[in-house]
C-alpha cells in the first residue's frame, strides 16, 4: 500500500471559528459540501495530484478534540504556518524541528482543541 490516506475529517464544535482558523493559517478558502445531516467544509482539492484532501465536519454527537489521529499539512515553511496558527487563536505545541532527511515538522492545536502537524522541507 502506497500513501494510504485518501481523505481526512477534522471534527469541530464551532464551524465559523474553525473555518476562519484554517483559512487564515493556510491562506485557502474552504468550500461547502452538501449533506443534509452534517456540515462539511472541504479544503481545496484536485483529484489528479499527490496527497489527500479532507474537510472540517460538524456532526451532532461528535465533539472536537480528544482524538488520537494526527493529520499533517504540507507547507512551504512550517514555522510560518505555526506562527499564523498562534495568531489565529491556536497554540504552538512543538516549534519547528528537524526530522532529518524528511524535512521539518511543527505541531499546533487549532481553535477546537485538535492537534495538527505541519510539515515542510525547508
In a domain, 24, yes or no: yes
Q: Is the pLDDT of residue 85 over 70?
A: yes
Specify if 79 maps to a domain.
yes
Question: Does any domain span residue 1?
Answer: no
Within-domain flag for 64: yes
* CATH code for position 16: 3.10.180.10
**Interval 27-80: pLDDT, tens:** 999 999 988 889 999 999 988 888 888 999 998 888 898 777 899 999 999 999
State how far the Cα of 51 lies from the Cα of 54, in Å rounded to an integer.
10
**Are the beta carbons of 91 and 107 closer than 8 angstroms?**
no
Share of the chain above pLDDT 70, in %: 98
Q: What is the pLDDT of residue 8?
A: 92
The total of structural domains in the chain comes to 1
Q: Which domain holds residue 55?
A: 7-120
∠ CA 89-92-98, nearest 5°, is: 145
Amino acid at each position: 500500500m502506497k500513501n494510504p490516506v485518501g481523505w481526512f475529517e477534522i471534527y469541530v464544535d464551532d464551524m465559523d471559528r474553525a473555518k476562519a482558523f484554517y483559512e487564515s493559517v493556510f491562506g485557502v478558502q474552504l468550500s461547502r459540501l452538501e449533506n443534509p445531516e452534517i456540515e462539511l467544509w472541504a479544503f481545496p482539492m484536485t483529484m489528479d495530484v499527490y496527497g489527500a484532501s479532507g474537510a472540517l465536519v460538524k456532526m451532532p454527537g461528535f465533539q472536537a478534540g480528544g482524538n488520537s489521529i494526527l493529520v499533517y499539512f504540507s507547507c512551504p515553511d512550517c514555522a510560518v504556518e505555526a506562527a499564523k496558527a498562534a495568531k489565529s487563536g491556536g497554540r504552538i505545541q512543538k516549534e519547528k524541528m528537524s526530522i532529518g532527511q524528511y524535512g521539518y515538522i511543527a505541531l499546533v492545536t487549532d481553535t477546537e482543541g485538535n492537534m495538527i502537524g505541519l510539515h515542510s522541507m525547508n
